[in-house]
C-alpha cells in the first residue's frame, strides 16, 4: 500500500498513519468512526477513519506535562 500524503505530527514527527500512541475514545459514525487519540508528545488528535483510510481532522498542541 502506498500513501500519497504522509503526514506526521508537527510537534514530534510521529507518523499519522502509524499506530496511535494512545486511543482516548472511539465513536462510530455513519461513514466509519471517529477516534480521539493522544500522540506520544501529548497532542490530542481527532482521527476520522473511513473506507479511504485514516486522516487527522483536528490536532491540539502538546499537553504541558
Ligand atoms: Zn506528536
Q: Can you tell me the distance from the alpha carbon of 23 to that of 4, in angstroms, rounded to the nearest whole number?
A: 25
Ligand 1: centre distance to CA 42 (Å)? 6
Ligand 1: centre distance to CA 48 (Å)? 17
Ligand 1: centre distance to CA 57 (Å)? 14
Could you read off the pLDDT of 12-47 as tens digits, one per residue?
999 888 888 999 999 999 989 999 999 999 999 999
Residue 64 reports pLDDT greater than 70: no
Q: What is the DSSP string of 2-64?
A: --S---B-TTT--BTTSPPSEEEEEEE-SSSEEEEEE-TTS-EEEEEEETTEEEEEEEPPPPP
Ligand 1: centre distance to CA 1 (Å)? 24
Grid cell 500522540 — which residue?
39
Residue 6 reports pLDDT greater than 90: no
Ligand 1: centre distance to CA 13 (Å)? 6
Amino acid at each position: 500500500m502506498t500513501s500519497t500524503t504522509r503526514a506526521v505530527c508537527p510537534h514530534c514527527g510521529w507518523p499519522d498513519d502509524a499506530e496511535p500512541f494512545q486511543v482516548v475514545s472511539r465513536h462510530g459514525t455513519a461513514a466509519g468512526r471517529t477516534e480521539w487519540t493522544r500522540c506520544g508528545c501529548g497532542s490530542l488528535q481527532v482521527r476520522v477513519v473511513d473506507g479511504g483510510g485514516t486522516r487527522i481532522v483536528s490536532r491540539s498542541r502538546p499537553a504541558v506535562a
